[in-house]
Amino acid sequence: MAALGVEPFHAIARATGASVPQIGLALLAAALRAWNPDLRRHLRVALPISLQGRRRRSALGNHTSLLPVTLPCGEPGAAARLRHLTAEVGLGRMTRALVGGRDLAALPAGLAVPGLRLVSPLLRKARPRHLGVTAMRVTEWPGDDAFVVPVLAPGNAAMVVILHARAAVSFSAVFDAGVAGFAELFDHLGPALAELHAATTRA
């Protein structure tokens, strides 16, 4: 995992209007691009969106929808990567995913559960090749040394969590055993943040 100071994120947000999760996704795209040259292309990932809302946070279970997001790993420019992601993870697309997810969640369990049971064995047998990403904001957190251990869903090669706490933004991940050299991915996040900060906050 890697924890980066939150101040550069705030400076980039002030200069560009981007959110911290959008900035985090831009850094992840840059890190993937630097880590593996084979990933220097646009990479499709799934971004979970909570369907519960502020008033339903005490509800049990996970109620989420998935927003398809393209990480611009093929884009060499740091500022261009961020512009791409502010459009990909904009309010309009997120609202449409939220409404669609709530419509799907309203289906009777008698319809949804059998469908999931049919698909689940296929996912477990598939070669892991997908990347999942989630971003969350927390106000109470034990400290910068604490991080999230995500669940690796069947069919995913990796699951990455971007956690925005008060003093730091941390990146943690779980990888499939077939992914080699994944620890080096986190080494590229700091340089990616410095590059994006320089590209977007010039006087």
- Expressed as residue numbers, the domain containing 108 is 2-200
Count up the domains in the chain and report the number. Answer: 1
Q: Give the model's confidence band at 128: pLDDT under 50 very low, under 70 low, under 90 confident, else very high.
A: very low
Q: Give the model's confidence band at 183: pLDDT under 50 very low, under 70 low, under 90 confident, else very high.
A: confident
| Closest by CA position to 150, among listed 170, 168, 172 | 172
pLDDT of residue 201: 93
> What is the Cα 110 distance to its own chain's centre?
31
Strand order across the beta sheet in which 42-50 lies:
2-5, 168-175, 156-164, 130-137, 42-50, 64-72
- For residue 13, what is the domain's CATH number? 3.30.559.30
Burial class of residue 17 (count of CB atoms within 10 Å of its CB; 0-12, 13-18, 19+): exposed
Q: In the predicted model, what is the mean pLDDT of residues 88-114?
A: 59
